[in-house]
Amino acid sequence: MRRLFEGGLVALGLLAASAAAQEIYQEKSLYRNIVVVEEQGLRCMKFGRQEGRQTCLSLQDPQVMPLAYTKMLLGALYLKPDPARILIVGLGGGTMPSALRKLLPQARIDIVEIDPSVVKVARQFFGFSTDSNSAVVIEDGRVFAKRAQKQGRKYDLVMLDAFDHVYVPEHMLTREFLLEVRSLLEKDGVLAANTFSSSRLYDAESATYASVFGPFYNLKMNNRVILARNDGLPPLAEIKANAQRLEPGLGVFGTGQDQLLPLFSTAVQWPAGTRILSDQYSPANLLNRSEKQPERKGLW
């Protein structure tokens, strides 16, 4: 009886939360169904009406990052505190370029987003904007990488944060794509990639990144963020020194070394001999289609 009662309370809580969520915008774009909702003091972008949230903005303090994965992505600056040229693949609500512009006002920021409707929604509802030192390119992320590779472009920091309504597009999970991305990095350039912390692709994804970049820092909460450097990982002593230097700036966004440093791990959490994802073997969307997606809604 008690179990039935507790289950009823949970159901009522879910109904109340659902009722409290207010949908303020909806658009079916060429690529996805974009929904903007306000709930629990947050304004969030969703792709469809599933649980996963792509971006959330605190209505009380827009600078504070409500979602854990955005804070973990800022941990990339612990490996490269002063990147001059930055590439971000996947815009969402524009949380990352907006934060990096405040932290690094002189940096050049290129943003790649396949869906022009996402850019429009980011500008209208999440305060995203560009300036003379930043630009949005409407293009598939891999097409951009190939073009940039041919043009000889180089970046100090590349952030991969491209998602569709299921997961990372499978052509952007393969070894070939990651090699293209690595070719865009300066000698000491840093890669930061946002993925899921729980997925049937976790092992293959990890092995694929390791095959291209070698050891990487693994930060895990609701999402998993992979951090790698082109010339090998800096030691933790360097990470801690950079964290101390960046503490005042990151504090504005509601994070810092006390939250981020304990997450840095180089533990190998996948079996030896795990098959690497390639352009010929990339079952990403097939494997993830039946999975729930709670990861992107994680608060910190």
**What torsion do the CA atoms of 224, 178, 185, 258 make, to the nearest 10 degrees?**
10
Catalytic residue among 110, 115, 156, 161: 161
CA distances from 25 to 20, 58, 124 (A): 15, 17, 10
86 contacts 76 by C-beta, under 8 angstroms: no
161 is catalytic: yes
Pairing of strands 134-138, 85-89: unpaired
d(CA 278, CA 280): 5
d(CA 166, CA 176): 21
The amino acid that residue 148 corresponds to is A
Rounded to the nearest 5 degrees, what angle is found at the Cα of 207, between the Cα atoms of 109 and 181?
25
The DSSP letter of residue 166 is S
CA within 13 Å, CB half, 283: 10
Give the three-class secondary structure for 296: helix
Give the three-class secondary structure for 145: helix
**Which residues are the active-site residues?**
161
